[in-house]
């Protein structure tokens, strides 16, 4: 089934996803997505020998997964005050600071589902605590997207496993069809719970940060 996916991992990390990115960086990114879970707390951007730091500007390349309700990345980087309030109030401690390796984005809030996934709190305390309003309740809570790698998934390999579907906190985002987990891309928020709980020897779930996030509407009367 993996060979029949309409968009290969190389496509996702090459021209079809990043478009303008030069091929050397695309190749580096391609080699990293399969080992995404190994990034851990460091979450360092891919290193390309001889490339300027601007090539991994997080405003251009969506490597960071933001908390729910995050505004457009360029605006997020400009307006986030690094106050850490969203980090302090996150019940599962899913939100953490982006490491120094991200340069301009260092210190901004991010989620690494390998360490702790977002559990989609119904009262979104991170949004309530955000005084700079870079996390907003009037924007979609979608943080990214998830995909299942059939060649690594226990259910696709003929074993009985419903761990990811049992744990998914979003109704209808991840269900079983003929005993196999299927992700509804229209409902998936990219929270990362399925990635965190996957018991397969090689994690069968890849989560990708949202490529585009909305610019918030202007205040009424402006």
Per-residue pLDDT tens for 200-211? 999 999 999 998
Least Cα distance to 75 among 87, 85, 66, 63 occurs for 66
- Of the chain, the percentage scoring pLDDT greater than 70 comes to 70
> Looking at residue 34, what DSSP letter applies?
T
**What is the token pair recorded at 161?**
């496993």
160-193, pLDDT tens digit by residue?
A: 999 999 999 999 999 999 999 999 999 999 999 9
Domains of the chain, by residue range, sit at: 1-34, 35-45+57-209
pTM of the model: 0.71
Question: Over the chain (222 residues), what is each successive 10-residue block's mean pLDDT?
Answer: 45 40 40 40 40 42 83 95 98 96 92 94 97 96 95 96 97 95 96 96 94 80 54
Both tokens assigned to 144: 């990214």
The DSSP string of 122-179 is TT-HHHHH-TT-SB-TTS----EEEEE-TTT-TTTTT----HHHHH--STTTEEEETT
Count of positions (residues) in the chain: 222
Task: Give the C-alpha distances (Å, rounded to integers) separating 24 from 7, 15, 17, 55, 131.
Answer: 20, 12, 15, 11, 39
For 122, 146, 210, the CA distances from 130, given in Å and listed in that order, are 16, 26, 20
């Amino acid at each position: 089934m993996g060979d029949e996916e309409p968009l290969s991992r190389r496509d996702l990390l090459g021209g079809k996803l990043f478009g303008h990115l030069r091929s050397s960086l695309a190749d580096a990114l391609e080699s990293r997505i399969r080992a995404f879970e190994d990034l851990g707390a460091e979450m360092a951007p891919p290193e390309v020998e001889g490339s300027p730091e601007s090539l991994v500007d997080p405003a251009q390349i969506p490597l960071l997964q933001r908390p729910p309700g995050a505004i457009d990345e360029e605006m997020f980087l400009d307006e986030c005050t690094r106050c850490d309030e969203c980090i302090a109030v996150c019940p599962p401690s899913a939100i953490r600071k982006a490491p120094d390796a991200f340069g301009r984005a260092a210190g901004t809030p991010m989620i690494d589902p390998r360490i702790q996934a977002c559990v989609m709190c119904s009262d979104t305390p991170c949004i309530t605590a955000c005084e700079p309003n870079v996390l907003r309740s009037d924007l979609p809570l979608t943080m990214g997207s998830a995909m299942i790698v059939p060649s690594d998934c226990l259910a696709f390999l003929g074993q009985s496993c419903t761990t990811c579907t049992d744990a998914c906190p979003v109704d209808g985002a991840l269900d079983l069809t003929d005993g196999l987990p299927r992700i509804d891309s229209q409902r998936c928020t990219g929270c990362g719970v399925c990635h965190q709980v996957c018991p397969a020897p090689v994690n069968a779930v890849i989560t990708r940060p949202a490529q585009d996030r909305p610019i918030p509407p202007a205040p009424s009367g402006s």
